[in-house]
Amino acid sequence: MRHPCSGAGISRRTLLAAALTTALAAALALPAAPARSAPAAAVEGPVRIVLPFGPGSGTDIYARLVAEKLGPALGVPVIVENKPGANGIIAAESVARAKPDGNTLLFTTNTTHAANPSMFKSLSYDPVKDYAPVTKLGNLTFLLVVAADGPYRTLQDLVAAARKQPGRVSYGASNSFGTVSGSKLGKIAGVEFLQIPYRSSPQIITDLLGGQVKFAFVDVAAAGPMLAANKMRALTVLSDQRFPTLPDVPTMKELGYSQFDVVAWFGMFAPAGTPPAVVAQLNGKLTAILKDPALRKRGAELGIEIFGSSPEELGQYVGSQVDLWKQLTADAGLTPQ
């Protein structure tokens, strides 16, 4: 005999199954909830800006001006660390080997990223492959200076002395710009100068005033105080035009050295492998900072033409500069050491 409730039980089970099936189908028909995207990569800090030169140089002064503004822009602490020596190799290698997270940056010049490949037979880093370009930072004006109480009043006096005493008129150089400039000047003038290597511009200036070296190629920022105190004399400016605050100092071209086309430049780099979003963040903050009128005015006083670029523009520029400095070092008669 059939239980009086068995038919109703089957009916309820059927209805329940049908309801579940309908609910599942409705759920599947609903649009999927958007997946939560991972947060964009960003600089977490603290940021360490490594410099290949010592305190007091034009690069050091400029880097600290930029660091003062970059910290608030990123919202993290930013410190500057000087690692002079070995023509910038120590600093460049330390950044190339650093963790690629945007917290370690290299504030450098053509010394490490254009000249060194042609000046050293073996280099522990590759200026193209080991870095993520961030932005160009500008160009720097250099001067040829002598002690104010010395015998050289003009560049012609200096060249004449070298002609009389081959290999005895010495000059100090703390970077590739000074090294190449001294060799190139000697080759064009047909004389031989004696190069004395240094770790930083302030050390050169100290020895120049003490008579240990006879002349030097020094940036305007480092030379400025001694020029203002009349302890040094600038014989020429290594740029296309006279420097605004030194209107009486002639250019190399005016003195008959039209082939003197050496330019010093700045750039900011991160280690290769730094996330593109981090590079973009750094580029955006830095290029905005470099447009600041007050910073540009201060830069002009230091002999620095301040401007920025895209990472791609800096990368292409480095490649072309490596080729250019290969020619410059060859023209200066220098061979890799």
pLDDT at 25 over 70: no
Could you tell me how far CA 59 lies from the centroid of its own chain?
Answer: 8
**16 pLDDT tier (thresholds 50, 70, 90):** very low
Beta strands in the chain (DSSP E): 47-51, 78-82, 104-109, 131-140, 142-147, 170-173, 194-197, 215-219, 232-237, 264-271, 304-306
What is the mean predicted confidence (pLDDT) over 78-106? 96
Matching CATH topology for 47-140+263-332 and 142-255?
yes
- Tens of pLDDT, residue by residue over 273-308, are 999 999 999 999 999 999 999 999 999 988 899 999
Domain ranges of the chain: 47-140+263-332, 142-255
- Tens of pLDDT, residue by residue over 258-272, are 877 778 999 999 999
Q: Which of 2-16, 51-65, 68-82 has the lowest mean pLDDT?
A: 2-16
Q: Which of 28-42, 132-146, 155-169 has the lowest mean pLDDT?
A: 28-42
User: What's the pTM value of the predicted model, to 2 decimals?
Assistant: 0.80
What is the mean predicted confidence (pLDDT) over 240-258? 92
What is the mean predicted confidence (pLDDT) over 212-222? 94
Residue 285: half-sphere exposure toward Cβ, Cα within 13 Å: 20
What was the pLDDT predicted at 107? 98
Fold of 142-255: D-Maltodextrin-Binding Protein; domain 2 (3.40.190)
Both tokens assigned to 49: 């800006």
Options 3.50.50.60, 3.30.70.260, 3.10.105.10, 3.40.190.150; CATH for 47-140+263-332 is 3.40.190.150
What was the pLDDT predicted at 175? 86
Q: How far apart are CA 167 and CA 184, in angstroms?
A: 14
